[in-house]
Structure 1
Amino acid sequence: MTNEKITRKNPTNMPSPVGNYTHITKIPRNAELFVTSGQVGVDVNGQFPNTLNEQVTNTFHNIKTVMQSEDLHAEHIIKVNVWATEKIDWDYLYGEWEQLFDHDYPAMTIGYITELGLPEIKIEIEIWAAKL
């Protein structure tokens, strides 16, 4: 059982992912599970920038901060849920994404919705992580 690890794969008998994610992630039975609340683009002063890209930067900063509080790293992330209220600049988001992941991507779901918890929130990202 000590050889068990989190594994990610894209089955060869289905289409490749359309983005930087993996179709399936397997978590060993003995892993400890962590689930974050949705992280948003608020800065350290409690302010929300006006642009989505600025909020994306803050959101990834907040994700890294909450993960560090439990000594979690990118390899522990097993699932990411992304909600946005306006069109995402994928080049920009993936620039932040690539700073977190080194091509070993988690499973991911993305949805566009009309609003989030507060009117100024443009993006919210929830993280699921597992640690052996």
Structure 2
Amino acid sequence: MENRSITRKNPKSVPAPVGQYTHITKIPRNAELYVTSGQVGVSAEGNFPKGLNDQVSNTFSNIKSVLDSEALSAEHVIKVNVWATEEIDWDHFYSEWGNLFNTEYPSMTIGYLTALGLPEIKIEIEIWAAKP
């Protein structure tokens, strides 16, 4: 019988993740795939806070809204790409991350860049999700 759920694992042959993510996320055959544009730290009023932590909080709020719009939840998220223009405060980031993902961590890539699409954007997070 075919497994129809998203599965996550960290192979014993690979060093443990250095953060709250999973090395492998497997999507069942014929799952519906969702790819978001990068979500940024703009507030509901259209403003960008000056501080990175405030932008991180807004970004996760925006991600939650995008997921909700398609009846998706954190369990459907399979891959997260994070880009930031300054060093991330990992305590704050993982607090927001944990609020969304609890302990079902998706695969993740993080990169630091000198700039994003607008000068006021300090973080951008792209989500890939699948619904079996």
The interval holding the TM-score normalised by the smaller chain is over 0.9
Deviation per CA, 1:15-68, whole angstroms, max 9, x where unpaired?
A: 000000000000011100000000000001110000000000000000000000
> 1:68 is matched with which residue?
68
Secondary structure in structure 2 of the residue aligned to 1:25: strand
Alignment RMSD: 0.9
Secondary structure of the structure 1 residue equivalent to 2:42: coil
Give identity over the alignment, percent. Answer: 72
In the TM superposition, what is the alpha-carbon distance from 1:2 to its structure 2 partner?
A: 6.4
Unaligned runs of 5+ in 1: none
Q: What secondary structure does 1:54 align onto? A: helix
Tell me what 2:17 maps to: 17
The separation in 1 between residues aligned to 2:12 and 2:31, in whole angstroms, is 27
CA drift at 1:80: 0.1
TM-superposed deviation, 1:102? 1.7
TM-score (norm 1): 0.98
Tell me the equivalent position of 1:84.
84
For the residue of structure 1 that corresponds to 2:78, the secondary structure is strand
Stretch of structure 1 that moved more, 1-10 or 34-43: 1-10
Distance 2:2 2:11 in 1: 25
Amino acid corresponding to residue 116 of structure 1 in structure 2: L
Runs of 4+, deviation exceeding 2 Å: none
1:59 aligns with 2:59: yes
Unpaired runs of 5+ in structure 2? Answer: none
Q: TM-score, normalised by structure 2?
A: 0.98
Instruction: Output the CA distance in 1 between the equivalents of 2:2 and 2:18.
Output: 33
What is the SS of the residue equivalent to 1:66?
A: helix
Deviations 1:74-110 (A, max 9, x none): 0000000000000000000000000001211000000
Whether the 8 Å CA contact 2:83–2:125 is kept in 1: the answer is yes
CA drift of 1:3 comes to 4.1
The aligned runs of 1:1-132 (5 Å cut-off) are 3-132=3-132
